[in-house]
Each structure stands twice: as structure tokens, then as C-alpha cells.
Amino acid sequence: MHTRYDDITAYETKDGSLIRELIHPSLHHNHQQSLAEAIVLPGQTTALHQHLKTEEIYFIRQGQGLMTLGQKQFSVQTGDSILILPGTAHCIENNSEQNLHILCSCAPAYSHDDTELL
């Protein structure tokens, strides 16, 4: 399977970020996981949410922000990785002047049905 970034249509997900599904079972016939890029605009904060089944890994590809993970808040920047276990409330704020680009790896694959807004 091979995809090209420019061929992938972005959409707004439940948390308010702009998502491109780089690899997802509903589109590419893989089975266990998904990989997406989220873009959070300057000044934007995603909605606080959790996933009951999905474990996520965020990789900050570009930009900086403020991550809320459970009861903790901490700064993130290009090159940082964050592990988000199932059932952990989380959101991210882009507190910079440039777009925040996040690679999101999910296992099992991302699903709107597994996203609970808090």
C-alpha cells in the first residue's frame, strides 16, 4: 500500500482538528492500526476527549503547543512524542503563530465511535 499526502482529503474530526487519514482500515484494507496527521491552527484547542479502546501516540512533526493528558499539562514541540492510553482525557492547544502538525498513530484504528467528548 502506498499513499500520497497531496491526494488525501482532510476532514474535521470530533475534537475539532483537521485530519488526514494517511493509512486507515476503512480506506486501505489494513487491520490493526491507523496513521493520520492532525493540524491544529494557531490559537485553537482541540476538544477534551478520550478513547475507550484506542491507544494513541502523538508525534509533534512541526510546531509547539500545550498538551493536557489526564491531570497533567505540559509544553510540547517539534520532535516530542506523547503516549495516550485508553480512557485518558486529552486535548492539545496550539499556542504559537504557526500550524501545529501532529502524526497520530492509533491501535486499534481511529473511530469516531470510540471518541467521547468530555
Sort strands 55-62 and 100-107 into parallel, antiparallel or unpaired. Answer: antiparallel
pTM of the model: 0.90
pLDDT higher than 90, residue 90: yes
The pLDDT value recorded for residue 14 is 87
- pLDDT digit string (tens) for 100-114? 999 999 999 898 899
What sign does the dihedral 65-44-62-98 (CA atoms) show? negative
- Delineate the domains of the chain, giving CATH numbers in brackets: 5-112 (2.60.120.10)
Q: Averaged over 5-10, what is the pLDDT? A: 92
- pLDDT digit string (tens) for 21-71? 999 988 888 889 999 999 999 999 999 999 999 999 999 999 999 999 999
Q: What are the start-end ranges of the E strands in 1-97?
A: 11-12, 18-23, 34-40, 49-51, 55-62, 64-69, 72-77, 81-84, 90-93
